[in-house]
Amino acid sequence: MIRTFREDRVRRTTVLRVALLGALALVLVVPAAGYGGQAKKAAPQASCQLQVFSWWTGGGEAAGLTKLIKIWNKGNPSCQFKNETVAGGAGSNAKAVLAQRLSAHKPPDSFQGHAGAELRDYIKAGQVEPIDFIYKQYGFNKVMPKTLLNQIKYNGHLYSVPVNIHRANMLWYNPKVLKDAGITKVPTTWTEFIAALDKAKADNVIPLSLGEQWTQKHLLETVMIATIGPTRWAALWKKGGSANWSSPGVTLALNRYKTLLTYTNSDASALTWQEAGKLVADGKAAFNVMGDWQDGYFSGSKAGDNLALKPGTDYGWAAVPGTAGVYDWLSDSFTLPKGAPHRAAAVKWLAFLGSKKAQDTFNPVKGSIPARQDANPKLYGTYLKWALKQWKTDKLAGSLTHGVVASNAWNAAVDTALGLFLQSKDVAKLQTALVAAAKKNA
Ligand code: GAL
């Protein structure tokens, strides 16, 4: 069962009180057995708590995290989980809060960071510890793909444990809405996409539902990948790649993006990704572009705030038109911050996250495929079974919005440029700002 934020707060306070009372009565010893390589050395800790920072507060994200918390708390009665989530999809609020905590030297025991450039920000700033010893002890490098490990490595050392792999370039749709609007084929090309959006418009539904600004950047990245392809996409993020940003391919992509915005709901900036997705689920919109956490939200059990829809019947999916065979990927990983208040517990948490049990418990609910390659596909739903196959054959493109290709600073520069564009709709200005952002940050 997913609790409301208020219930959660009350519960956390109660858990904290119980833990403090317990600490008065006995000296707590972190168990030596289990996942934590460092646990043997740990000194007895009064009021141990595992403070984990993420932005998973709704949909399949919260449901998946709740499952992990249950297992953790059962196995660690003397060091209960303290859920330090900050609401806001894609970490839109959480990352700023985290930055403040880290600069004030008040880190949690572990925090969520995307594999790739985003994680490298924390590494370069000296805010996280290398955790090669965990990989060595549990053999994680043998069960996780090299591509992924390369994105969490810096100067030969590993810095986080990835829990999953997500796909950003997904088109979600309502089959009944498409049928009613006379859209007989799910679009696979730009021309087909526009034709389908026109049909939806003529049928008086929202052709393409959209949410707050980070989801607008998410849409932009998928249109860019569709237009210029994964190779030229990768070149945009390389050192000295700023010239690529002024190419005609990027101009075309930005113009296409501008066109797409004319098919979206006018209240986009006020909607979360779930609210934008729900417009499709409720039959008020035909399409939505979002990462595959949308599958967790759509198909997840109603015990939380998920919709319990039937995959394939109540909703359908395809790659964003023009991106079939491309996996615009990202990965959620967790770190060991320097100065983690309960380091031994944090090490144990990271070892747990990399385990098959944790990954096969979390991901079917979250709407992501596991980072481990030895997961059991039978445990995954219809969409994820499909995604597991696609991951093996598709070309890879790293996500912008979710930290793979660009640092937090570069992302912030794109956010500013995009924010201005959403007001002015001036493509030339947007492109100039993107060139400047690349010059400064590549
Ligand atoms: C992404 C994150 C996903 C999902 C999504 C929406 O950045 O990697 O796990 O949570 O944001 O919040």
Cα angle 35, 41, 42 (rounded to 5 degrees) comes to 80
Minimal-distance CA residue to ligand 1 atom 4? 90
Minimal-distance CA residue to ligand 1 atom 12? 89
User: How far apart are the C-alpha atoms of 27 and 15, rounded to whole Å?
Assistant: 17
What is the Å distance from ligand 1's center to 201 Cα?
Answer: 29
User: How far apart are the C-alpha atoms of 127 and 132, rounded to whole Å?
Assistant: 16
User: How far apart are the C-alpha atoms of 340 and 439, rounded to whole Å?
Assistant: 35
Strand 316-319 relative to strand 170-173, pairing: antiparallel
The tens place of each residue's pLDDT in the chain, 442 residues long, gives: 334 333 444 344 444 443 433 333 333 333 333 343 344 455 455 589 999 999 999 999 999 999 999 999 999 999 999 999 999 999 999 999 999 999 999 999 999 999 999 999 999 999 999 999 999 999 999 999 999 999 999 999 999 999 999 999 999 999 999 999 999 999 999 999 999 999 999 999 999 999 999 999 999 999 999 999 999 999 999 998 889 999 999 999 999 999 999 999 999 999 999 999 999 999 999 999 999 999 999 999 988 899 999 999 999 999 999 999 999 999 999 999 999 999 999 999 999 999 999 999 999 999 999 999 998 999 999 999 999 999 999 999 999 999 999 999 999 999 999 999 999 999 999 999 999 999 999 9
Q: Which of 53, 61, 275 to mutate for ligand 1's pocket (most ligand atoms within 8 Å of CB)? A: 61
**Which atom belonging to ligand 1 lies closest to the Cα atom of 114?**
8
What is the Å distance from ligand 1's center to 125 Cα?
Answer: 23
What predicted TM-score, i.e. pTM, was given to this entire model? 0.90
Closest CA to 64 of 381, 364, 376: 364
